[in-house]
Copies of this chain bind each other. A is one copy, B any other.
Amino acid sequence: MTISDRVVEAHDIRLDEVTGGRARARMRVTAAMANQHGIIHGGYVFLLADTAFAYASNGHQDGNRPVTVATAAQITFLRPVPADAELVAEAVERSRVGAAGIYDVTVSLADPDGGGAVVAEFRGQSTTVARRLIGGSA
């Protein structure tokens, strides 16, 4: 079980790789995620990046480990995303110091649609919390 299963199902997100400190997630964006200009709402790009971040920071978890939660995130939008594109988000752990973690996520247009062109760069800050504090049954 993972930290955001229903989000993943609701948006048909596919997880290619989840290892300790890394995760790759894919999502095909749909017309329903676009504004009237045909450009995908940045909130969905964030949602995909944030999902990859959640998996990367919890990928090595088991039922006894503390849970990692997001405390803050920053995203820069570099290119508009057209409807029907497939996005891929690559999350990598950058630093861990005590309970604090920093994760970088690059969101790109997947091949063959976009040839890997970067559409957004995301950085997440996380902290670990005791499992009992968030009522987790996992």
Q: Are A75 and B73 in contact (CB under 8 A)?
A: yes
Judge whether A7 is part of the interface by a CB distance below 8 angstroms.
yes
Judge whether A19 is part of the interface by a CB distance below 8 angstroms.
no
Report chain B residues within 8 Å CB of A134: 37, 39, 80
Judge whether A79 is part of the interface by a CB distance below 8 angstroms.
yes
Q: Are B123 and A74 in contact (CB under 8 A)?
A: yes
| Given A72-B72, A95-B121, A43-B47 contact (CB < 8 Å) | yes
Residues in chain A within 8 A of chain B (CB atoms): 1-7, 10, 31-39, 41-44, 46-47, 50-51, 54, 67, 69-80, 94-95, 97, 100, 102, 104, 106, 117-118, 121, 123, 125, 134-138
Report chain B residues within 8 Å CB of A44: 7, 47
Q: Are B42 and A76 in contact (CB under 8 A)?
A: no
Report how far A75 CA is from B43 CA in the complex, Å: 12
Q: Are B50 and A33 in contact (CB under 8 A)?
A: no
- For the complex of A and B, 9 pairs with smallest distance between CB atoms: A43-B47, A78-B97, A43-B50, A74-B74, A72-B76, A37-B136, A3-B35, A37-B134, A7-B41
